[in-house]
Structure 1
Amino acid sequence: MTFSLSDSELNDRLDRLPVLAGRERVVEDLVGGLTNRNVKITTADGVYVARCSGSDSELLAIDRDDEYANSRAAERAGVGAPVVDYRPDLGILLIGYLDGVTLTAADFARDGVIARAAMACRTLHGGPRFRNDFDMFARQQAYLRIVDQHGFRLPDGYLDLADQFAAIRAALDRPGLVTVPCNNDLLAANFVDDGEKIWLIDYEYSGNNDPCFELGNIWRDNGLSLDQLEALVTAYFGRTTRHQLARARLQGTVSQYGWTLWGCIQNGSSALDFDFWEWAMQRYDNAVEEFRGRDFTRLLDDAGATGRERGVTS
């Protein structure tokens, strides 16, 4: 599974968008995009980004209509790029170009970045609800069925950790938990810093979710330290309790165990020149480290301690 779009095909599709039709333009490929071809388009009237996708993302459970609707909601929240056009028949979502720099994992160590990233998340989470829900426990099961049906390779011992994964699910289960609109895939490159605020981009995997999943996923996908996770949780909630910190940390493990299967599916189906197996194993190793950590049981206890919100230092 991969998406290939020639320059001539791309330009033909761009010509069918009213805002670009008949206009001189400069088209530049943007780095990244393992399920899209993303291009920057500069015209005399404006600068845009076209997210170009094919019809081959069903194995990864990407719903392009959800992506469009949620991108619009993120724009209304004030943290997403403006949505200019959406043409599912052409496989194009056209958004405004954000004039800023994409973060790297190392940037989270710079003064103020974690606080501004947390503010961006709070802004998104406080905005209009998304069109769909996102539950990594359900997504992991769906991915696992796909891996099994297609005979894709799994890391050794992956299934042996099912009981620990189920234990996290039980610990995180809270009656009446309020979900919020989450991006769910905030790799560093999906943060755009314009010098004054941080914007959030790429809503392929967005959906209403536990905000602690967002925080935990940021921690693990960007290789942050536990101290940085605590700083992120504190900046987001205004204070940190052991309950909140444990939920974020366990949700980070949930994300890694689930995204491992995303990499396994891509490893078995994509023709892209990218080492998806190494990508999957990095997530798997992150999950194993937490599953087998000496404080795993304590985290389960703290995550379920809804009636006794203890401070981090207590």
Structure 2
Amino acid sequence: MVRGLDCWSGPVEPEPLTGGITNLNFRVTDAGRNFVVRIGEDIPVHQVMRFNEVNAAKAAFKAGISPEIVYARPGVIVARFIEGGGALSADGVRAAGFIERFMPVLKACHREVPKYLRGPVLAFWVFHVLRDYAARLREEGSRHEPKLDGLVARAEELEKAVGKIDLVFGHNDLLPGNIIDDGSRLWLIDWEYSGFNSPLFDLANLASNSEFGEVEERRMLSLYFDGAVDADLWRRYSAMKAASLLRETMWSMVSELHSKIAFDYAAYTLDYLARFDRAYQTFRQL
């Protein structure tokens, strides 16, 4: 399929890229230039609509924080390869100086990308996602069904604690692998879950996926909000952090039933469920 795309100037030899847990990804060299090809259809069970991903990625390129999309058709996205770059690990995200480098990128995502968006764009409200996941898991007889009532009750508690929000355009999937460091600057990739959201979700998502400590979290919040972190902000952020981890947990539960990618979703579910439990207990102590 990748070889046959009509965007190439001649024959190409796609090289599979590892690490993806939703899409199939390939590196292609064409006429001396390198590209990344993402293969993936809409995923309604995860509320992923590829038109939204393409729109967001194009806007993010214009905002200067994501590589250029050079070709797109249903199920296929071709973007320029970031030369000299590599996806970060959790250790890389926790490294000294990362937060200071990344906060301008995140602020650009939230405040600059919307200036370039055109056409329909989705919203991403984690608590709606959680309710939808729970309903689907019940309907499809998931092995996790006995846990769902308790998880939904906790999600409702967390939604109340988050309270009123500001609305920005979020990336909403800040796994370390979606951040690229080319040695001089940071880039964001993979916009499939992007949409209007609270800035607290991206902040919590970044911290929870890379297991920040409280010192790093407070520095991140202080840099983003340009000031001291008061008790109210800390509690609302902590609620969103727990919700972020619950979303990743239930995303994996649904993926256990639906994904055809060769990945150990069962182990991923257990890992994130344990992270959620710890974050929820920390929130309850506030």
Count of aligned pairs: 279
- Note the alpha carbon deviations across 1:101-127, whole angstroms, 9 max, x for none: 211101133221121122211111111
Q: What does 1:88-167 correspond to in 2, within 5 Å?
A: 88=74, 91-99=75-83, 100-129=85-114, 131-154=121-144, 157-167=147-157
Letter in 2 for 1:154: H
TM-score when normalising by structure 2: 0.91
**Mapped partners of 1:240, 1:214: distance in 2:** 19
Shift of 1:269: 2.5
Q: Which runs of 5+ in 1 are unaligned?
A: 1-8, 299-314
Partner of 1:169: 159
| Stretch moving more, 269-278 or 215-224 | 269-278
Q: Does 1:46 align with 2:33?
A: yes
**Matched position secondary structure for 1:75:** helix
Partner of 1:311: none
Kindly report structure 1 stretches of 4+ aligned residues shifted beyond 4 Å: none
- Note the alpha carbon deviations across 1:112-149, whole angstroms, 9 max, x for none: 11211222111111113251110000011111111111
Distance 1:156 1:278, change over 3 A: farther
Shift of 1:202: 0.4
| Contact 1:153–1:268 (Cα < 8 Å) also in 2 | no
Letter in 2 for 1:151: G
Partner of 2:172: 184
Q: What does 1:11-90 correspond to in 2, within 5 Å?
A: 11-12=3-4, 14=5, 16-17=6-7, 20=8, 22-54=9-41, 57-88=43-74
- Aligned-residue CA RMSD in angstroms? 1.8
Letter in 1 for 2:201: F
| Contact 1:260–1:284 (Cα < 8 Å) also in 2 | yes
| Contact 1:181–1:209 (Cα < 8 Å) also in 2 | yes
TM-score when normalising by structure 1: 0.83
**Mapped partners of 2:220, 2:272: distance in 1:** 20
| Stretch moving more, 258-267 or 181-190 | 258-267
**Mapped partners of 2:61, 2:285: distance in 1:** 40
* Percent of aligned positions that are identical: 24
- Note the alpha carbon deviations across 1:135-174, whole angstroms, 9 max, x for none: 0000111111111111122176442243332122112121
Letter in 2 for 1:44: A
